[in-house]
């Protein structure tokens, strides 16, 4: 089984992510130890909550450099929800610098007369990298579960792997760049489509034999 380090920095319910990864065929380990990140075959950075406390916790645990090094090494990496946003340089939600792995900013949804913020509930994906292995078995317009008030605006739009709409706004739903993958929605809460995506990530992380 694929050994997957699920990074624990006191921001969110890790157990639902671990359950989804286990169902998908992975062997998740909740950890905040840099050594465990080195030994794992893949990394998952989940997260709920605010940007600044999340970055503060990662720094206090000494996890920023190990995460950056693991991604630079080519190890498969999956960010979920806040875990996607932390990959960027900065966020309109706070003042802390992000991990800085991806150029770009995290923006807040623009106010609209009938728009509810946060964007919460089921919504459809438009796949902008439809041939990516992460989408194997996923049909266009797949429904997934979102909970967020902020979204990523990458400097390089070609890394956007899926978008969704909220009100009149089309925003980033997923990112894929080499070994780095991230989802603004919660795949572990997204029924069969989400579990299929997690299984695809686990398969991408399997050592070649």
Catalytic residue ranges: 81, 186, 188
Distance CA 193, CA 127 (A): 13
Residue 169 CA: distances (Å) to CA of 18, 46, 63, 91, 191: 32, 25, 34, 18, 25
Residues in the chain: 209
Helix (H, G, I), strand (E, B) or coil at 195: helix
Distance CA 61, CA 178 (A): 27
Residue 135 CA neighbour count, 13 Å, CB half: 21
């Amino acid at each position: 089984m694929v050994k997957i380090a699920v990074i624990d920095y006191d921001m969110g319910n890790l157990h639902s992510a671990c359950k989804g990864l286990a169902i998908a065929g992975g062997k998740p380990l909740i950890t905040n130890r840099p050594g465990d990140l080195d030994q794992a075959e893949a990394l998952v950075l989940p997260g709920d909550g605010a940007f600044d406390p999340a970055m503060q916790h990662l720094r206090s645990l000494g996890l920023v450099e190990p995460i950056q090094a693991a991604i630079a090494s080519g190890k498969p990496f999956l960010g979920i929800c806040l875990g996607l946003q932390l990959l960027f340089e900065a966020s309109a939600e706070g003042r802390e610098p992000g991990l800085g792995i991806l150029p770009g900013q995290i923006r807040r949804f623009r106010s609209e007369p009938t728009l509810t913020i946060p964007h919460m509930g089921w919504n459809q994906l438009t796949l902008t990298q439809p041939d990516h292995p992460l989408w194997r078995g996923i049909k266009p317009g797949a429904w997934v579960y979102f909970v967020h008030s902020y979204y990523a605006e990458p400097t390089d739009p070609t890394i956007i792997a899926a978008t969704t709409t909220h009100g009149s706004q089309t925003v980033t739903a997923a990112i894929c760049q080499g070994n780095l993958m991230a989802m603004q929605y919660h795949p572990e809460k997204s029924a069969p489509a989400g579990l299929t995506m997690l299984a695809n990530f686990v398969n991408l992380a399997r050592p070649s034999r």
